[in-house]
Amino acid sequence: MNAPISAYRRDVSPVREEFSAEKALEVLSTPYGSSPIEDLALLKVQLPVLADGSVSSTQYHRLLDLFYTRTQKLSADLKPRLRDASLPLTREIRNIARDLSEVFRAIAAGYRWVLANMGQARGGADNPMRNPRVLMGRAMKCLAEQLEVAGLTAAPQPGGVWHAAYQLYLEACQEKMEEGASAPTDTEQVFREMLALNTAAPESLSSREVSLVAEYAGLFAASVIIFDAPPPSDQDVSLYWIDVGNDQAPYAMARRTPPFGMDQILYFSCARLSEVVEGQLRALENGFQPKDLRLPDSADTAGYVPLLRRLLKRWREPPKRQFPRRRNNYQMQLCPGFDAFWRLLEQQDQGIPVLDVGMVSDWMVVNESPAGYALMHTAGTVDNLQNGSVVALRTKAGQPWEVCIVRWMTSENPEHIELGVQVVAHGAQPIRVGFRGVKNASLQAGLLLEPVTALRSKRAILTLAGTCRSRRFVMISGASKIYVAQGEVLSLDLQTASVELFQFEPDHNPI
C-alpha cells in the first residue's frame, strides 16, 4: 500500500521501528485522559503510522477513524484554552494550536487518500467504512477545524486548506449527482460553514467571537447559497467568487472580479444568511428569547447581540476599502489596552510623573491611510492584545496620543505580531461615567473624545463594553477641579467585544 499524502511528522524523535499499528491501537484504545495536552502529545507521536505504509487498507481506515474520533474530542476540550488566550500567545498555547491543526490536516489528507484509492469498492449508508459521503464529510470537518483554530489564535490560514475544501466540495457534488440525491450532504453543509466563517473576517474578531461565529455558522450556514454560474441579477452586493483551482480564500465581487478566461469558478452569496440574522435581531428586540429562535445558549451572554449586528453588516455587504494605503516605515510607540491607557492619562491629568517603561512597546508603521495604520511589532513587551480592544499610538515620548481600535491581527510566531488599527480620536481625556436608571450602577472609566472631521460631528465617549445601558448619564472629570456634567446619548457608533463608543450632547432636562 502506498503511503497517504502528507501525514503529520513534525518534531517526531522516536525511531521508525517504534511505530506500529498495534502500538497506535494500544494508545487509541486507552480511556480518554484527564490531560488533553498529554493526550494530544501521544497522538502526535503515533500519527506517523498513518503514513507508514505497512498496514493493510482496512487497518489503515480503521486507525484513521479512531484518530478522527479522538481528535474531535481533544479539539472540544482544547479550543476553550485557545479562545481564552490573548496575544502574544504563550509557547504552550501556540504549540497546542499548531499540533491540533496539523493532526487535523493529516487526518483530512488520510481520508482523501482513502477516497482516491477506493475505486469501485464503495458502499452505501449501511456500510460507513465504504461510504464516500462519510469520508468526505469527515475530511471537510477536519479542514473546518483547521480554519477555526487559525482564527482562534490569529494565525494565518493554513496552506492547502482552501484547495482541499474546494476539491472535496466538487467531489461531493459529483457523488450526489451520480446517486440522484437532492438532500445536502455533510460535506456541503460544513463547506458552507467554512464560507460563513471566512466571510465574517475572523482576523477582525476576538478569539471568543471567532468561537461564537463558528457556533452560529454550524446552526444557520445552510442559508449560504452556492452557484455554479453568476446569478442573473447583479444586485446582490454580498456575492463572492471562488477559484477552485487555487489555494486562495474566496474573493468579494465588490472588491475584485474574476479574471477573464478562468477555467472553473464557483459563486456564493450570504444575502439569505444576513436576512436570517436580521430577523433574529428584530425578534430579540421584540422580546423573543434566544431559545425561541434556535440560537445557542451563548446568545444570552453580553456582547452577543452587538456581534450579530456586525455579522449582519458583514454578510449583507462586504466592506470596501475607503482610502488608499501608503507604504511607510517609521516607528511609533503603542500603549495596549483601555485600562492601561486610561490610568496613564489619569496620572498625567493629576500631575503625577508617569513612568511608562514596560507599558509602551515599539512598532513600525508598514502602511497608513486617513483611517488608520498597519503596524508590525519591533521591540518591547506586549500583553493582552485582542481584536476590538483599545490601543494608543504616538510618534515618540511627549507627543500626543492617537486613540485607536484594533481591527485585525496576525501572528505567525511569538516574535512576530501585525496589527491593523482604526483611528477614532486624536487625544482623549480620562473621565468617569454613570448611567441613570440602572440598578446598582457605579461610575465606570471612560475616555472623552473630541469631534473628528469626517468621523463624527459631536463629542463622544469610549467605554468598556456593556457600560452604555440607558440614554442619560453623568460624567465626572478633572483632578484639581472636579467637573460634573449630565449628557444624553445620541448614537451608539461602535461596539466590539471589548469597548463601545457613543456620541452625546448635554442633557437638556438635567436633574
- Among 272, 129, 123, which Cα is nearest to 192's? 272
DSSP character string of 73-123:
HHHHHHHHHHHT--BSPPHHHHHHHHHHHHHHHHHHHHHHHHHHT-TT---
Query: Per the domain annotation, does 193 fall within a domain?
Result: no
pLDDT of 160 strictly over 50: yes
Question: Residue 138 is part of which domain span?
Answer: 1-182
pLDDT of 127 strictly over 60: no
User: Are residue 235 and residue 342 in the same domain, yes or no?
Assistant: no
User: Are residue 3 and residue 133 in the same domain, yes or no?
Assistant: yes
Question: Among the listed ranges 85-89, 146-150, 335-339, which one has the minimum average pLDDT value?
Answer: 85-89
pLDDT of 322 strictly over 70: no
Final residue in a domain of this structure, among 285, 320, 355: 320
User: Are residue 400 and residue 436 in the same domain, yes or no?
Assistant: no
CATH code of 345's domain: 2.40.10.220
DSSP 400: P
Question: Among the listed ranges 17-26, 201-210, 388-397, 438-447, which one has the minimum average pLDDT value?
Answer: 17-26
DSSP character string of 251-291:
EETTT-PPPTT-S-EEEEE-HHHHHHHHHHHHHHHTT--GG
User: Are residue 350 and residue 400 in the same domain, yes or no?
Assistant: yes
pLDDT digits (tens, 9 = 90+) for 333-361: 999 999 989 988 988 877 666 656 567 88
Domain count, the chain: 4
Residues 6 or more apart in contact with residue 251 via CB below 8 angstroms: 240, 241, 242, 243, 258
Average pLDDT over the chain, rounded to an integer? 84
User: Are residue 163 and residue 259 in the same domain, yes or no?
Assistant: no
Cβ atoms of 99 and 71 closer than 8 Å: no
pLDDT digits (tens, 9 = 90+) for 365-390: 999 988 899 999 998 888 778 888 99
- Name the grid cell of 294: 434556535
User: Are residue 49 and residue 79 in the same domain, yes or no?
Assistant: yes
Strand partners, 377: 363
DSSP 137: H
Final residue in a domain of this structure, among 320, 342, 364: 320
User: Are residue 298 and residue 160 in the same domain, yes or no?
Assistant: no
Average pLDDT of span 178-196: 86
Strand partners, 242: 266
pLDDT digits (tens, 9 = 90+) for 269-294: 999 999 999 999 999 999 999 999 99
Q: Residue 163 to residues 1, 148, 246, 252, 415: CA-CA distances in angstroms?
A: 25, 16, 6, 17, 29
Cβ atoms of 195 and 268 closer than 8 Å: yes
User: Are residue 114 and residue 7 in the same domain, yes or no?
Assistant: yes
User: Are residue 268 and residue 404 in the same domain, yes or no?
Assistant: no
pLDDT of the residue at 10: 37
Query: Per the domain annotation, does 511 fall within a domain?
Result: no
pLDDT of 8 strictly over 50: no
pLDDT of 391 strictly over 90: yes
Average pLDDT of span 142-155: 94
User: Are residue 313 and residue 418 in the same domain, yes or no?
Assistant: no
User: Are residue 215 and residue 167 in the same domain, yes or no?
Assistant: no
Cβ atoms of 290 and 305 closer than 8 Å: no
Query: Per the domain annotation, does 360 fall within a domain?
Result: yes
User: Are residue 256 and residue 297 in the same domain, yes or no?
Assistant: yes
pLDDT of 12 strictly over 50: no
